[in-house]
Amino acid sequence: QSALTQPASVSGSPGQSISISCTGTSSDIGGYDFVSWYQQHPGKAPKLMIYEVSNRPSGISYRFSGSKSGDTAFLTISGLQAEDEADYYCCSYKSSSTLVVFGGGTKVTVL
C-alpha cells in the first residue's frame, strides 16, 4: 500500500482536460511544497513533469499543471493528446524516517 493515494485510472477524450489527485497527510503533501509528478510510458524511465507543486521543468508542455489544496495535490492535463497516455506518479517529501514517498500511480487513458 502506497503512502500517497492516487486513483488507479483516469480517462478522457482528446482535447479534454483531466485531473489526477494525490492525497497524503500533514506530514508530507500538507506540510511541504515538495510535491513532484512523473510520467512513465511502458518500459521507460519516469520523467519529471512537475516539481515543487506547480513548476514545470524546461521542455515540459504548458498543458501540464500542478496545484495543491491541503493534503491533496493535483496534476491537470489540458488539451489531452494521445501521447499523454501513460502512468503518472506523485511524490512528496515526508517528515519521517521515510523521507520520500510515492503514490501508487494513475493510468491515464486517452479514449
Partner 1 sequence: QVELQESGPGLVKPSETVSLTCSVSGGAVSSYYWSWIRQAPGQGLEWVADIFYDGITNYNPSLKSRVTISLDTSKSRFSLKLISVTAADTAVYFCARGAPISILGAAPKYFDSWGQGILLTVSS
Q: Give the binding site for partner 1 (CB under 8 A).
A: 2, 34, 36, 38, 44-48, 51-52, 57, 89, 91, 93, 97-105
Report whether 66 contacts 77 (CB < 8 A): no
Nearest distance from residue 68's CB to partner 1, in Å?
A: 14
In whole angstroms, how close is the CB of 31 to partner 1 at the nearest point?
Answer: 13
| Residues in CB range of 104: below 8 A, 6 or more apart | 1, 2, 4, 5, 6, 8, 89
Say how far apart CA 49 and CA 35 lie, in whole Å: 11
Least separation in angstroms between CB 37 and partner 1: 9
Q: Toward partner 1, which CB reaches closer, 45 or 111?
A: 45
Closer residue to partner 1 in complex, CB, 56/63: 56
Cβ-based neighbours of 59, under 8 Å, separated by 6 or more:
none
48/78 with CB nearer partner 1: 48
Residue recorded with cell 499523454? 84
Minimum CB–partner distance for residue 14 and partner 1 (Å): 27
